Structure formats: structure tokens, C-alpha cells
Amino acid sequence: MIPPDDAPSPWTRISRRLAYENAWIQVFHDDVTRPDGQPGVYGVVHPRTHAVGVVAIDEHDRVLLVGQYRYTLDRYSWEIPEGGAPIGEDPLVGARRELAEETGYRAGSWAELMRFSLANSATDETGALYLATELTLGEANPDSTEDLTLRWLAFDDAVDAVRTGELFDAMTQMGLLRVALDRAGGAGRRPRPSRPSDDLLG
């Protein structure tokens, strides 16, 4: 195991001001003293949600993917179902909601795969990924801004698509590769079952 680093931060925040905000993010401008002792600035993007993603696998060992156009990248992207859980909400609750809203599917079995940080040089966003199985289809209810397409892909083909770069989304890559590692490592490395709790992301 990698031990935690309990050393004090080499950065000192002198001041912080809110430079921009909308319904989804806040952007802070910090005046700081850098680790080299010199004055500096740091911009921090603070999402109002934690990221959640779901590797949903059916009885035929197929992965459910969601296709949508990503405005920020100006490209189409195939991804696992993913979205945001409001800060203070159990991320598993948010993951259940995202799967149902985007795809219509519900899962009878949930297991947490991992927790992570995203782009941690620029944002304090954290997230959680889950494995969902025992799927049943219901009614989808995507956000009005989302134009989504669903497709199923054999799990091995999905892992190959990560290898070739066809699946470009980081959360999708992490989730699929974690499941692949668990399968390669045997039952002792399987993800633990998850259920809603008060355990929040840090």
C-alpha cells in the first residue's frame, strides 16, 4: 500500500476571490505563496457536484454506452453513463439516478469500483465509479440539453476500444480497465458491494 503523505502543504493561500460562477461550477482566483517562496496565482475550478459513472454490464457481458456530442471538445463521444451527484449526496444515489435518467436501466446489484480526482492541477473535482449488473429496462428521462444515443458493446471489445483510443473519455477508460483488472486478478480483488450511505467523497 502507498502510505498517505501527511506533510504540510508547501503552498500558502493569501487570498481567494470568486472570479466566475454559474449553476454548475465556480472558478476561484487565489493569490498564493508558491513552494519556492515566490508570490503567485492559482485558478481553481470547483464543480458544484461530484462526478459519478456507471459501468453497466448485462447478462451477455455487454457494456452499455451513451453517445453524445461534447461541446467542450467539439467532438462526439461514446461513454459509460455518467454525470454529477450534488455535494452532500451519497454518490451511489447519484449514480443510480444518472443510469436511470440517461438510459432507462435500473440495476439490481451495485459495487463500487474506485474513487478518483480529475485534472487535479486545475480542479478539485472528485468522483466515484460503480459496476452495475442485473439490469432491467425502464423509462429514460434525460436532461433537455442532452441528445443521447445508446449502444451495447461486448466487454472485451470495449476494453479494446480503450486500448485503441476509440473510447476517449477518462471515466469510461478508468471504469472499464478497473473491471478488466478485477477480472484478471481473481475473486479476491472483486469490487465490494455498494449501498447508499452517509460516506461522502472527500
Please tell me the CATH code under which domain 49-186 is placed. 3.90.79.10
Pair 116, 127: CB distance under 8 Å: yes
Pair 65, 157: CB distance under 8 Å: no
pLDDT at 201 exceeding the cut of 60: no
Q: What are the residue boundaries of the structural domains of the chain, listed by start? A: 12-46, 49-186
pLDDT tens profile 116-169: 999 999 999 999 999 999 999 988 887 777 789 999 999 999 999 999 999 999
Specify the DSSP class assigned to residue 138.
-
Measured CA to CA in angstroms, residue 185 lies from 178, 190, 191 at distances of 10, 8, 11
pLDDT tens profile 94-126: 999 999 999 999 999 999 999 999 999 999 999
Predicted TM-score of the model (pTM): 0.87
Pair 125, 50: CB distance under 8 Å: yes
